[in-house]
Structure 1
Amino acid sequence: MKSTFKKSLCTLLATVTMLSMLVVPPPPKVSAASDVTVNLSAQKQVIRGFGGINHPNWIGDLTAAQRETAFGNGANQLGFSILRISVDENKNNWYKELDTAKAAVAKGAIVFASPWNPPSSMTETFNRNGNTSAKRLKYNQYGAYAQHLNDFVTYMKNNGVNLYAISVQNEPDYAETWTWWTPAEVLNFMKNYAGSINCRVIAPESFQYLKNMSDPILNDSQALANMDILGAHLYGTQVNNFAYPLFKQKGAGKELWMTEVYYPNSNNNSANLWPEALEVAYHMHNALVEGDFQAYVWWYIRRQYSPMNEDGTISKRGDSMAQFSKFVRPGYVRVDATKNPNTNVYVSAYKGSNKAVIVAINKSTSAVSQRFVLQNGSASSVSPWTTDASRKVAAGSNINVSNGAFTAQLPALSVTTFVATLGSSKSSVTDAIYDIEVDPALAEEVLAQ
């Protein structure tokens, strides 16, 4: 080889090397360590739905357009199927709950209510760890308080809203500015008074899913008989405390709901930070898979840290929630799926209305090639919907299913929902979402239960 040629070749190689250093390659795709196996016959909990609270006494009512965004399930809508409202201590304020509640019901959503305080005439102050202004329900007013809750149920019914359930108390164990209840007081009410309430009863709505608040109910046959839904909040609750063996042992026929949270924080304008908003999807995954919750209910629907921005548009946190709420509809059942097939990949699966729904979260900064295997059910293709830094529940191209399996690319820092029509020769984007706004028969079934 001539020296002049060697010099030219070296110069060329050096130039290529420099250019390669200037051009940043895309993140490499990583093949998952194992397949995701979805066993459509291995059924877990029935899903009641997803939603949030509207609290017009504190932050103003949702507008008519915002109600459509929250409870509709078309394009640029959240598909929420649960509305939480408050039971104000002053009956003169109850009318404020009606407009949004009636709009939610018209869209097929269910409505439940939580009180923060009984009427002031029923409460008294007491000394709680040195705080002499702490408030509790008078012991001789438990019956009157049960009637107060009944009055709210009747008021809503007479105005077109049949409540699905009513709670005894919001966060009885975190009541610096509302009404305290001890575990023994909650037990007393549930055992001796809750049976007179003409609606499903939720208890105890501990702020941190502290089991000392609910264990006494589960361990008392009469109190348990009067409880229909065990409600819990997950503020600061570690994932390893999401499971509740005692509920699995004694809660047959009862429902398990996560009735309030915002996660990971309530910082100003945090609703649209990415990948922080991806943590919402991950938290929902853990609540459903590790906690076996049947409902996941956010705090304020519209707030600077919530699924809906203050201007009524859907935030990135809302996109994360919508990856579940738009596709996993009321009455669907969670089925067994490989929950963590690869580092930073988390998967859950559901079925209902002749559809299979798989929600896959990739918390890695690299894309992942993930193989999914369907057992005890068949489909010819799946329709993917993705939220990541630039996309908002965006439809992708259908992916063919071959021999009961398909492989999909999970973008870096993303959540993707795959929807398949079971036992069908095709699965279209239109079928995957717009026919699941609300199944009227299913809505009637849920509301009648």
Structure 2
Amino acid sequence: MTIRKMIGKSMFPKAFLFGVWALLFACQSSGQEKQSQTNPEDTIEINIIPSEKYQLMEHFGASDAWSVQYVGLWPDQKRNAIAELLFSNENDSDGNPKGIGLSLWRFNIGAGSAEQGEESGIRDEWRRAESFLEADGSYNWSRQAGQVWFAKAAQEFGVDKLLVFPNSPPVYLTKTGKAFANGGQSNLANENFKAYGEYLAQVIQGLEQKGLKVDYVSPVNEPQWDWSDGGQEGTPFWNNEIAGIAKAVNQALSERNLSTKIDVAEAGKINYLYEQADKNGRGEQIADFFKTGSPNYIGDLDHVSPTISAHSYFTTSPFESAVQQRTNLFTSLQTVEGLSYWMSEYCILGDNGGEINGNGRDLGIDPALYLARVIHNDLTVSNASAWHWWIAISPYNYKDGLIYIDKEKEDGAYYESKMLWALGNYSKFIRPGYQRIAVEIDNQKQQSPDLLVSAYKAKDEDEVVLVIVNSGIKEVKVNFSGDGNSPTIKAAYITSKDQDLKSAEVALEGKYFSIPARSIVTMLTEK
């Protein structure tokens, strides 16, 4: 694994030393040219079909909760290095990516539990968050300084989109006077919806005055859960309450002539979008919010994005079930014309049917491969046009971070994970506006969990990005074609046990290539 404790030049060696890649992209000799006209028995044919098009990709993102409030105030050398890993879309002098090129950053608007301290009832002070709002109704724009620094750093690196989200309304508006709820009921009274909308609009305006354009606001987060244990800021909401809040935020944004769009509803699991499941009044959110005639219809509000969002938690294993649930979601999305879907939060939670456990920090390839499988299914089965990771920077002993840190407020070491670079296999190369296109493996569109392939075409260009996830214990030989033609492989990048999105040498078109065992490979091709 790669561990960086201080900023500096890439620790990757200049020469590409991973042995199996001596085979990858190696040209057949001229004496074998005739043999290359037919596939060896153990070679898989991957056919790219640019004419069969699916969703336009919007962005890949991650959240600043909660450690950025501290890390954003760390010494410049450290925070700049971490920002580069998350946001940079540049390559170093050896052609290796400096970062994963996120295209959206999620800013957590705190509810004020940090100011309450231990009286907040939130046990872990790292999960308490500051609020811009004061008790007297004024705003203190010096708050959340670490988060503001990271949002500005993202902007300077070219991250196009900024989304703000609260986990709870500010404590001065909640029923409990705390940033978490009581008894599974909403912590915001109906009469405070208007004030909550005005507060969010005021925060957006305040951030824009700091030079941060806010593209999206997500006013509720995982409204199906009780949020009564004091583990973090949060509150449940019923669908009718979410609709009321969306209307209040819409009005406040309009009154201030803000262009920010509203994202709903960050469902705790994807099935709440298409069925009631175990949460009556909090499920079937596609129909409830976006089908005309529904009492909670908000699809006609000026600021509501034609998008619905949910989180992939607890729906990723086993593979067959994950595919079926995403198929159900896509079927439901098709009932509302023009509605797109964002997978807006994920990290590895729970035991996942014994496949992988969220407990325990692991910087290695195992969680990275699992993550890549989840991304693949979200993009190719449910047709997500955006994919967002949960906490970008984690101090915890859990599989919830792209970058890990020592749990130190003022300074500490930081550690890259393979999950960072696995996400980078997608986020660095699949840019906003790229369109997913079809691929077939041996003339079949159905894929197995051991070998997953997806393809994305650049707008008005011949370039196609291929992401191949080989979770198996053996290398896989592949041959590529595109609508009957062999594409040229311009560049390739690998994340594996020994490589962190490392650039690989490529050969001429029309040859066979080996995808190493337990690796994620991104290829840039053209006709």
Q: Aligned-pair distance for 1:277? A: 2.1
- In structure 2, the CA distance between the partners of 1:313 and 1:368, relative to structure 1 (3 Å rule), is same
Q: Name which of structure 1's ranges 286-295 and 375-384 shifts more when overlaid on structure 2.
A: 375-384
Equivalent-residue separation in structure 1 for 2:176 and 2:449 (angstroms): 52
- In structure 2, the CA distance between the partners of 1:120 and 1:131, relative to structure 1 (3 Å rule), is closer
- How large is the RMSD of aligned CA atoms in angstroms? 2.7
Q: Aligned-pair distance for 1:41? A: 2.3
Tell me if the contact between 1:204 and 1:231 (Cα under 8 Å) persists in the aligned partners: yes
Equivalent-residue separation in structure 2 for 1:196 and 1:376 (angstroms): 54
Secondary structure of 1:122's counterpart equals coil
Report the counterpart of residue 204 of structure 1 in structure 2.
Answer: 265
- 2:278 maps to 1:186: no
Q: Name which of structure 1's ranges 296-305 and 319-328 shifts more when overlaid on structure 2.
A: 296-305
Q: Aligned-pair distance for 1:187? A: 2.6
* TM-score after normalising by structure 1: 0.79
Give 1:247's aligned amino acid.
Answer: L
- How many residue pairs match? The answer is 386
Equivalent-residue separation in structure 2 for 1:37 and 1:258 (angstroms): 27
Give 2:98's aligned amino acid.
Answer: N
Q: 1:103 is matched with which residue: 142, 145, 153? A: 153
Secondary structure of 1:168's counterpart equals coil
Equivalent-residue separation in structure 2 for 1:356 and 1:133 (angstroms): 47
- 2:88 maps to 1:72: yes
Cα shift readout 1:196-228 (whole Å, capped 9, x = no counterpart): 433100111011121215231022465012330
Tell me if the contact between 2:404 and 2:415 (Cα under 8 Å) persists in the aligned partners: yes
Report the counterpart of residue 336 of structure 1 in structure 2.
Answer: 438
Q: Aligned-pair distance for 1:396? A: 2.0
- 2:467 maps to 1:359: yes
Q: How does 1:420-431 map to 2 (within 5 A)?
A: 420=525, 422-423=526-527
Name the structure where helix makes up a greater proportion of residues. Answer: 1
Q: 2:225 is matched with which residue: 143, 165, 174? A: 174
Q: Aligned-pair distance for 1:313? A: 4.0
Q: How does 1:31-110 map to 2 (within 5 A)?
A: 35-56=45-66, 60-62=70-72, 63-73=79-89, 74=91, 75-89=97-111, 90-91=131-132, 92=140, 93-109=143-159, 110=161
Equivalent-residue separation in structure 2 for 1:323 and 1:285 (angstroms): 11
Give 2:213's aligned amino acid.
Answer: N
Q: Aligned-pair distance for 1:261? A: 0.8
Give 2:312's aligned amino acid.
Answer: L
Q: Aligned-pair distance for 1:250? A: 0.8
Q: Aligned-pair distance for 1:44? A: 1.1
Q: Aligned-pair distance for 1:290? A: 1.0
Equivalent-residue separation in structure 2 for 1:368 and 1:341 (angstroms): 14
Tell me if the contact between 2:311 and 2:346 (Cα under 8 Å) persists in the aligned partners: yes
- 2:375 maps to 1:267: no
Aligned-residue sequence identity (percent) comes to 21
Name the structure where strand makes up a greater proportion of residues. Answer: 1
* TM-score after normalising by structure 2: 0.68
Q: How does 1:250-289 map to 2 (within 5 A)?
A: 250-252=336-338, 254-263=339-348, 265-270=357-362, 272-289=363-380
Secondary structure of 1:50's counterpart equals strand
Tell me if the contact between 1:386 and 1:393 (Cα under 8 Å) persists in the aligned partners: yes
Q: Aligned-pair distance for 1:400? A: 2.3
Q: Which structure 2 segments of 5+ residues have no match?
A: 1-39, 73-78, 92-96, 112-130, 133-139, 274-282, 317-321, 350-356, 406-412
Equivalent-residue separation in structure 2 for 1:38 and 1:195 (angstroms): 46
Report the counterpart of residue 333 of structure 2 in structure 1.
Answer: 247
Q: Aligned-pair distance for 1:390? A: 1.6
Equivalent-residue separation in structure 1 for 2:391 and 2:41 (angstroms): 39
Report the counterpart of residue 390 of structure 2 in structure 1.
Answer: 299
- In structure 2, the CA distance between the partners of 1:377 and 1:138, relative to structure 1 (3 Å rule), is farther
- 2:217 maps to 1:115: no
Q: How does 1:392-431 map to 2 (within 5 A)?
A: 392-402=500-510, 406-420=511-525, 422-423=526-527
Q: 2:428 is matched with which residue: 326, 340, 363? A: 326
Computing the radius of gyration from Cα coordinates, the structure with the larger value is: 1
Tell me if the contact between 2:481 and 2:487 (Cα under 8 Å) persists in the aligned partners: no
Tell me if the contact between 1:122 and 1:145 (Cα under 8 Å) persists in the aligned partners: yes
Secondary structure of 1:275's counterpart equals helix
Cα shift readout 1:286-308 (whole Å, capped 9, x = no counterpart): 11111111111111111253221
Report the counterpart of residue 124 of structure 1 in structure 2.
Answer: 175
Tell me if the contact between 1:307 and 1:315 (Cα under 8 Å) persists in the aligned partners: yes
- In structure 2, the CA distance between the partners of 1:79 and 1:131, relative to structure 1 (3 Å rule), is closer
Q: 2:189 is matched with which residue: 138, 141, 152? A: 138
Equivalent-residue separation in structure 1 for 2:449 and 2:312 (angstroms): 25
Report the counterpart of residue 309 of structure 1 in structure 2.
Answer: 404
Q: Aligned-pair distance for 1:57? A: 6.5
